Amino acid sequence: MQLYKNNAKTLLASSAVISWLLLLVYVLLTAESKLAGASAPGIVFPFLSNLLIVVFIVSVFLFQRLHTDMLKGIDFIGYLWNLFSKAGVAAYLSVALYLVYRVYINYAEVEYTLLLHVVYQINFGLLVLFLSKAFYIWRQLLLYHKNKFLQIAWDWFELLLGATLLLTLFNFDYTSYVFLPLLALMSFYILFLCTNLKWVAYLTFNNKSRSLVLLGAILLSCYIFLRFFFNMSANESLVIDFTEVGFLLLAMLFVGAYSLAAFLVSLFSLPTSSVFEQKSEDLLNFQRLSLSIQQGQSEAQVYDMLVESTIKASDASAAWFDIIRNSEPQVTHVLNINEGQIKSIRHMLQAYNIHNMDYINNNLGRNPGFRELAMPWKSMAILPIKSSKHLSGILYLLKDVEGGFDHETVNVLRTFTSQTTLTIENLRLVNESLQNERYKEELKIATQVQESLNPKTFPADSWFEISTHSVAAKEVGGDFYDFLQLSESRIAIIIGDVSGKGISAAFHMAQMKGIFHGLMQQDMAPSEFMKQANSALSRCLERTSFITSSLYIIDYRMQGFMFARAGHCHTLYYNSMMDDVFYFKTDGLGLGIIRDDKRYAAHIREMYYDYNPGDVMVIYTDGIVEARSPENEEYGEDRLQYMLKQTYHLEADDIKYAIINDVNDFTGPDNVYDDQTLLVIKFRPIQQNK
Amino acid sequence: MKITQEIKDNTVIMTLDGELDASSSVILDEELSDPEIMKYAKVLVNCQDLNYISSAGLGVFISHLQRFEDAQIKLIFYNMQDKVRNVFEILGLDLLMTIVSDYEEARTIANE
Domains of chain B and CATH, by start? 2-111 (3.30.750.24)
Chain B residues touching A548 at Cβ < 8 A:
90-91
- The pairing of strands B2-8 and B11-20 is antiparallel
Would you give the distance in Å from CA A668 to the centre of its chain?
48
Minimal C-alpha gap between A587 and chain B (Å): 7
pTM above 0.80, yes or no: no
**Residues B20, A141: Cα–Cα separation, whole Å:** 74
H helices of A495-538, where? 502-520, 526-538
First-to-final CA distance of chain A: 100
**Does B95 contact A589 at a Cβ distance shorter than 8 Å?**
yes
Read off the pLDDT of residues B12-51 as tens digits, 9 standing for 90 and up: 899 999 988 878 888 888 888 888 888 888 899 999 999 8
**Does B92 contact A567 at a Cβ distance shorter than 8 Å?**
yes
Q: Do B17 and B1 form a contact (C-beta atoms < 8 A)?
A: yes
pLDDT value of position A1: 67
pLDDT value of position A683: 92
φ/ψ (deg, to 5) at A21:
-65, -45
Residue A545: closest C-alpha in chain B: B59
Q: Do B97 and B45 form a contact (C-beta atoms < 8 A)?
A: no
First-to-final CA distance of chain B: 31
pLDDT value of position A411: 83
State the DSSP string of A308-323.
Answer: HHHHHHHT-SEEEEEE
Chain A residues touching B29 at Cβ < 8 A:
544
Chain B residues touching A603 at Cβ < 8 A:
92, 95-96
Minimal C-alpha gap between B64 and chain A (Å): 9
**Does B91 contact A500 at a Cβ distance shorter than 8 Å?**
no
Chain B residues touching A541 at Cβ < 8 A:
none
**Does A499 contact B90 at a Cβ distance shorter than 8 Å?**
no
H helix count then E strand count, chain B: 4, 5
Minimal C-alpha gap between B9 and chain A (Å): 30
What lies within 8 Å, CB to CB, of A413 at 6+ separation is A310, A313, A314, A381, A383, A397, A405
Q: Do A597 and A534 form a contact (C-beta atoms < 8 A)?
A: yes
A 10 A CB-CB count for B85 gives: 17
In the DSSP assignment, the letter for residue A324 is E
**Residues B90, A87: Cα–Cα separation, whole Å:** 99
Q: Which amino acid is located at A658 in the chain?
A: A
Nearest to B55 among A499, A566, A570 (CB): A499
pLDDT value of position A330: 83
- With H, G, I as helix, E, B as strand and everything else as coil, classify residue B88: helix
Q: Do A404 and A301 form a contact (C-beta atoms < 8 A)?
A: no
Nearest to A501 among B22, B60, B66 (CB): B22
Q: Do B13 and B6 form a contact (C-beta atoms < 8 A)?
A: yes
Minimal C-alpha gap between A522 and chain B (Å): 27
Task: Determine the Cα angle at A429 with ends A423 and A433, to 5°.
Answer: 145
**Does A500 contact B59 at a Cβ distance shorter than 8 Å?**
yes
**Does B92 contact A595 at a Cβ distance shorter than 8 Å?**
no
Chain B residues touching A622 at Cβ < 8 A:
87, 90
- Could you please state the CATH topology (level 3) that the domain comprising A454-683 is classified under: Phosphatase 2c; domain 1 (3.60.40)
A 10 A CB-CB count for A452 gives: 11
φ/ψ (deg, to 5) at A427:
-60, -45
In the DSSP assignment, the letter for residue A365 is G
Mutation to test the B interface, candidates A439, A474, A499, most B Cβ within 10 Å: A499
Minimal C-alpha gap between A520 and chain B (Å): 23
**Does A588 contact B66 at a Cβ distance shorter than 8 Å?**
no
Domain ranges in chain A are 2-271, 276-431, 454-683
What lies within 8 Å, CB to CB, of A453 at 6+ separation is A480, A482, A509, A510, A513
**Does A590 contact B92 at a Cβ distance shorter than 8 Å?**
yes
A to B CB pairs, distance under 8 Å: 59
**Does A570 contact B59 at a Cβ distance shorter than 8 Å?**
no
Residue B58: closest C-alpha in chain A: A544
Instruction: Mark out chain A residues that contact chain B at CB-CB < 8 A.
Output: 497, 499-501, 543-546, 548, 566-570, 587-590, 593-595, 603, 622, 634, 636
**Residues A250, A160: Cα–Cα separation, whole Å:** 10
- With H, G, I as helix, E, B as strand and everything else as coil, classify residue B28: helix
Nearest to B62 among A500, A568, A593 (CB): A593
Mutation to test the A interface, candidates B23, B24, B55, most A Cβ within 10 Å: B55
Residue B93: closest C-alpha in chain A: A589
Q: Largest Cα–Cα distance in chain B?
A: 35
Integer angstrom CA distances of residue A555 from A491, A518, A683, B80: 7, 20, 11, 40
Chain B residues touching A634 at Cβ < 8 A:
83
Minimal C-alpha gap between B92 and chain A (Å): 4
* Closest among A416, A323, A336 to A376, alpha carbons compared: A336
Residue A498: closest C-alpha in chain B: B55
Q: Which CATH superfamily is domain A276-431 in?
A: GAF domain (3.30.450.40)
Residue A599: closest C-alpha in chain B: B96
Instruction: Mark out chain B residues that contact chain A at CB-CB < 8 A.
Output: 22, 29, 55-56, 58-60, 62-63, 65-66, 83, 87, 90-93, 95-96
Minimal C-alpha gap between A544 and chain B (Å): 4
Give the strands of the sheet with A676-683, arranged side by side.
A464-471, A676-683, A616-620, A571-575, A580-584
H helices of A393-475, where? 407-453
State the DSSP string of A3-72.
Answer: HHHHHHHHHHHHHHHHHHHHHHHHHHHHHHHHHH-TT--TT--HHHHHHHHHHHHHHHHHHHHHHSPPP-
pLDDT averaged per 10 residues in sequence order, chain A, 690 residues: 82 91 86 66 67 90 83 76 84 88 81 80 90 89 85 91 84 73 86 86 84 91 89 79 84 91 89 78 75 69 84 86 82 86 84 79 81 84 82 87 82 83 83 85 76 76 86 74 89 90 79 90 92 91 89 92 94 94 92 89 92 94 90 90 94 94 88 85 71
